[in-house]
Structure 1
Amino acid sequence: MATGEKSSTEAFSMFVGGEPTNSVGGETFDATNPATGESLGEVPKGTRENAQRAIDAAREVQPELEAMTDFERAELCHEMADAIEANHDHLAEWLTADQGKPLQEARTEVELCAKEFRNAAEDVKRAETEVIPSEDPNKRIYTIRKPHGVLGVITPWNYPLNIPAEYLAPGLAVGNAVVWVPAPSTSVVAVKLLEAFADADVSLPDGALNLVTGEGPVVGDEVVINDGTDAIGFTGSPETGEEIASKAGTKPTLLELGGNGPVIVLDDADIDAAVEATSFGCFSNAGQICSASERVLVHEDVREEFTERMAERAREFRLGDPTESETDIGPLNNEGVAEKMDRHIDEARENGAAVLTGGGRADDLPTDLYYEPTVLSGVTTEMAVNWEESFGPIAPIIGFDTYDEAVEIANEIELGLTSSVFTSNLELAEYFADNVETGIVNINDNSAYWEIHTPFGGYTGKRSGRGRIGGKHSIEELSQLKTITVDHGNARSPLDTE
């Protein structure tokens, strides 16, 4: 299918037990292209029974998956990466049509999705455990890794291929069978990923990876509360994450939740570099990134210069059809996030902030989900745009006078996922890296910078999540340690050879 083409007659399927599956109730929902408003087709509206069947299929096959060696499961992950790469253009086009991001960003995401599976394949081969000294000279103590069992995965719409792969790849690599619930507004590209695996005849056992589409409070909730799931992985809002953690009880949960910057620009920063990096952090994927640069704290000595250049750079971003190569920013994915942008900008204006560029929805494009890249000056810490995650293409600029004040503003909100600091002073870089309460602090780059093999997650005491995704850390989170002791007898006595 060419990106943007209307395909209202296509019917998509869930995958349970290795087979395409419809809703038990026969219901569907319409998937629409956020860039055009046109229908992509009908997606099954799964029920609790659909989720239960997927869990049962996963439980049945999980022992077979666990019995494989790490190297055999690694080979499965490489097969899945091969299938993704073989369908690169096809998946990228569907990703753009389903999510709305520019096609070049979609191509990059497909590449990252394949890389997640390749990394997991190699990480699991090197998931070494310990031999632990014992007080008893006759004993040897060692640890091994075991899967949790059946892993429920619930994922958002902003990166609907790469974020799921952060859980699916390491989860399968360590021997968990998976039940995956994607966001309803990007379920089509999830189906296309499973079709790619099926068409490539990947040798994953039937039921090892199940896809259930539908509403989160129905199918997602069933996956969380059902006794047949042993662990839960979730990326999304803090509110939903906290509800999942409560309902999951004692199940292990890996939660990657919301963020809100900040970017901190010091008085000795390279302003050109800071503007370029920050604009990427604010406007990439239309700002729909949990690690987006949504709060920009700038020292008063350079605030005016930085603000002017930031507004100039924002005007250079081209908003438009995501299938065109010249487009930098496509539409927002859904009305909910557009309404939040409206609310944040209106509230900031009412309380004295100035809109230097952008500030509303574009009125000359096919849908009203296209939002102008926006720069706000005169933002204060009391405004909602400081306290809440906007999740849109926005750069709210907040001035500060002292370094201690910058740290205080950075840390005063409830979110603590990522941040960045721009400075030419190594001592200051270390000071902010040590004192800003976020799981990642990037020095002289945007807050969204992350390499997929490194640990990513929220800061303790904040609402940005639990645990770490990335590389070996995902392997550790999605498996469990088992300790084994062996009594070898009297190891100090010589062997009786008579």
Structure 2
Amino acid sequence: MATETIVKDYLNYVDGEWVSTETNKAEKSYNPANTSEIVGTYQLSSEEDVDKAVYAAKRAGKGWKKLTGAKRGEYLYQAANILESRIDEIAETMTKEMGKTFPEAKGETARGVAILRYYAGEGLRSVGDVIPSTDPDALMYTTRVPLGVVGIITPWNFPAAIPMWKTAPALIYGNTVVLKPAQETAVTTTKVMECFHEAGFPKGVLNVVNGRGSVVGHRIINHPDVKGLTFTGSNETGKLVAEGAVARGAKFQLEMGGKNPVIIANDANLDLAVEGTISGGLRSTGQKCTATSRVIVQSEVYDEFKEKLLEEVEKLKVGDGSKEGTWMGPSVSESQLYNVLSYIQKGKEEGAKLLFGGKRPDGLENGYFVEPTVFEDVDSRMIIGQEEIFGPVLALIKADSLEEAFKLANDVKFGLSASIYTENISNILDFVDEIEAGLVRVNAETAGVELQAPFGGMKESSSHSREQGQAAKEFFTSTKTVFIKR
């Protein structure tokens, strides 16, 4: 891959044009692996900029929803082709701006291509049903109609995939969009959105407004013409989205935090379990909402599993994600780094035993790096056993039985994903029945879900709607029942 970064001012995209903000201010985006390197700049927008974008989206909505689903799908398919042609370029930008390793960034961008193609096909699917009427002279059926203008607020940890899996279904079902990317990865997401412009989407159908959540996000949440809000991010911000939506009767969808457990049963394939635990918990530097955080191990195999786990963790290479052979990159920002380090310190203070890592690695002081970290003797009631860290920190917890393991797994306010490693079908079925999580995986890591499957959490991880697959239709449309009398 290339190493030179082209510094560019990434403008907002409003009504089919790349425009500067009302504030005429921009912010630099730095490489978290090398904080002296500028990746690019992005706009710091005002509420007036949001208003312009929403107005453009509302105006474009009438024509866009009148297009056939097949025609809207053609636009998405063209955007997918352009995104595919720019995979290496966008993946390189993602690595430099977010810190994800280049292979992971390339895989994420390829997923964005697949998402666009999947939803392009959704344009030809049924949008309703014929329902028998008790009146012999009547026809009754349902159809689905778009919400209107949809506000999309996305996080920094998946700057290509998450904007795609929200934007693509919103558009295919006839909505228009105002997107606010996370500041930390605004350059990457805006570059992805360039593909829609190149695909020739009608003006105003898709708009991108960069800036601070307290300004841009707040205005999108509270704008009276934004009829749907879909958000992925922290629980604190998610509550603000919900409050703003409820206050004015807008539809909302939230995907938030996780404290995801993996259970290692006493009959597990330990080598497979170690591989899945490391991949699920430490890849992307633990910066995934579905990342493994708690490792609940039956006591009979605890010592053997721990030994195998530490042996593999010691082999991991931390460094610049653009360098070949690097397994784990930096935290996305200085604030995120120090948040992770503060949780590690809390773990020590609460009496958990640090087995590996726990500090910034030597020789990488110019980036926001932290070592992969493993604790044991973790009580479920400890802060590191309850709160989402969003970093490469694994907490080992011993359980004397599977029943105790299930209880520990459910002993948090979150319910996003969970995994078990076992060869026993009875264990598997009990796990599926007992676990309080929206995504349940067996003999596989907690992180990851296929794009055609519904995704979402339980408890405080979600607003209980589902993203991706055909389930997305439930959020991005409203059902209209039609009764026609002869």
* Length-normalised TM-score, structure 2: 0.97
For residues 463 and 380 of structure 2, the distance between their equivalents in structure 1, rounded to whole angstroms, comes to 23
Summarize deviations over 1:130-188 as a string: whole Å, max 9, x none.
11122222222101111100000000000001011010011111111100000001000
Q: 2:478 pairs with 473, 477, 480, which one? A: 480
**Equivalent of 1:220, from 217, 223, 244?**
217
Matched residue type, 2:27: F
Q: Deviations 1:420-455 (Å, cap 9, x if unpaired)?
A: 011111011110111110001101111113111101
Cα 1:382/1:187, change in 2 over 3 Å = same
Is it true that 1:142 corresponds to 2:115 in the alignment? no
Using the alignment, how far apart are the partners of 1:389 and 1:354 within structure 2? 19
Partner residue in 2 for 1:238: 235
CA distance in 2, matches of 1:429, 1:417: 18
Which deviates the most, 146-155 or 389-398? 389-398
Q: Which residue of 1 aligns with 2:66?
A: 67
Report the number of matched residues: 483
The residue aligned with 1:167 is 166
- Does structure 1 conserve the Cα–Cα contact (< 8 Å) formed by 2:378 and 2:397? yes
Structure 1 equivalent of residue 21 of structure 2: 23
- More deviation, 335-344/30-39: 335-344
The answer to whether the Cα contact below 8 Å between 1:310 and 1:375 also exists between their aligned partners in 2 is no
The match for 1:157 is: 156
Query: In the alignment, which residue of structure 2 is the partner of 1:338?
Result: 337
**Match of 1:452?**
451
1:492 alignment counterpart: none
Shift of 1:366: 4.8
Q: Which residue of 2 is the match for residue 279 of structure 1?
A: 278
User: Secondary structure, in 3 states, of the residue corresponding to 2:34?
Assistant: coil
Q: Go from structure 1 to structure 2 and tell me whether the alpha carbon gap of 1:308 and 1:370 turns closer, same or farther (over 3 Å shift).
A: same
- Is the 8 Å Cα contact of residues 139 and 483 (structure 2) preserved in structure 1? yes
When structure 1 is superposed on structure 2, of 374-383 and 462-471 the one drifting more is: 462-471
1:76 aligned partner, one-letter code: Y
Percent identical among aligned pairs is 35
Partner of 1:407: 406
DSSP-derived class of the 2:134 partner = coil
Cα displacement (A) at 1:253: 0.9
The answer to whether the 8 Å contact 1:419/1:447 transfers is: yes
Superposition pairs for residues 393-404 of structure 1, below 5 Å? 393-404=392-403
- Distance in 2 separating the partners of 1:6 and 1:447: 34
Q: 1:97 to 1:368 in 2, by over 3 A?
A: closer
AA aligned opposite 1:439? G
1:125 CA drift (Å): 1.7
Q: CA deviation at 1:383?
A: 1.5
Using a 3 Å threshold, how does the CA distance of structure 1 residues 73 and 7 change in structure 2: closer, same or farther?
Answer: closer
Residues 355 and 375 in structure 2, CA contact (< 8 A), matched pair in contact too: yes
Structure-to-structure mapping, 1:274-423, within 5 angstroms: 274-423=273-422
Q: Deviations over 1:226-255 (max 9, x none)?
A: 011110110001111111001112211121
Aligned to 1:35: 33
CA–CA separation in structure 1 for the residues paired with 2:435 and 2:219: 38
Work out whether residues 84 and 193 of structure 1, in 8 Å CA contact, stay in contact via their aligned partners in 2. yes
Q: Which moved more, 1:137-146 or 1:216-225?
A: 137-146
Residue pairs, 1:50-61, within 5 angstroms: 50-61=49-60
Partner of 2:441: 442
* Superposition CA RMSD, Å: 1.4
Amino acid aligned to 1:351: E
Which residue identity does 1:444 align to in structure 2?
Answer: N
Does structure 2 retain, via aligned residues, the 8 Å contact 1:58–1:209? Answer: yes
1:465 and 1:306 mapped to 2: Cα distance? Answer: 36
State the distance in 2 between where 1:345 and 1:383 align: 12
Instruction: Please say if residues 34 and 367 of structure 2, whose CA atoms lie closer than 8 Å, have aligned partners that are also in contact.
Output: no
Q: Which range is displaced more, 132-141 or 166-175?
A: 132-141
Letter in 2 for 1:325: E
Give the partner amino acid of 1:31: S
8 Å CA contact 1:241–1:465 kept in 2: the answer is: no
Task: Identify which of 208, 211, 230 aligns with 2:208.
Answer: 211
1:346-382 deviations in Å (ceiling 9; x for gaps): 1111222222221111231153411111111111112
Deviations 1:65-91 (A, max 9, x none): 100000001111101101100111111
Q: CA deviation at 1:411?
A: 1.1
Corresponding residue of 1:496? none
Give the letter for the 1:424 counterpart.
Answer: E
Is the deviation greater in 174-183 or in 38-47?
38-47
SS in 2 for 1:359: coil
1:6 Cα offset (Å): 5.4
SS at the partner of 1:290?
coil
- TM-score of the aligned structures, taking structure 1 as reference length: 0.94
Give, in angstroms, the shift of residue 462 of structure 1. 3.0
- Structure 2 runs not aligned, ≥5 long: none
- Which secondary structure does the structure 1 equivalent of 2:120 belong to? helix
2:129, 2:353 → 1: CA distance? Answer: 58
Counterpart for residue 471 of structure 1: 469
**What amino acid does structure 2 have at the position aligned with 1:30?**
K
Post-superposition Cα deviations, 1:440-498, rounded to whole Å, max 9, x if no partner, equal 11011111131111011011x4343331011101122111111101113xxxxxxxxxx
Q: Show CA shifts across 1:47-106 (max 9, x none).
A: 000011000000010111100000001111101101100111111111111111111111
Judging changes above 3 Å, is the alpha-carbon distance between structure 1 residues 357 and 232 closer, same or farther for their aligned structure 2 residues? same
> How far 1:127 moved relative to its partner?
3.6
- In the alignment, the residues of structure 2 paired with residue 12 and residue 70 of structure 1 have an alpha-carbon distance, to the nearest angstrom, of 31
CA distance in 1, matches of 2:40, 2:282: 29
Residue number in structure 1 paired with 2:77: 78
Contact conserved, 1:123 with 1:475, CA < 8 A, in 2? Answer: no
Mapped to 1, the partners of 2:389 and 2:58 lie a distance apart of 39
Question: Which residue is 1:47 aligned to?
Answer: 46
Q: For 2:13 and 2:287, how far apart are their aligned partners in 1?
A: 28
Structure 2 counterpart of 1:475, one-letter code? K
Contact 2:151 2:179 in 1 (8 A): yes
Give 2:282's aligned amino acid.
F
CA distance in 1, matches of 2:427, 2:353: 30
Distance 2:110 2:5 in 1: 26
Aligned 8 A contact 2:257 2:460 in 1: no
Structure 1 residue ranges, 4+ long, deviating more than 4 angstroms after superposition: none
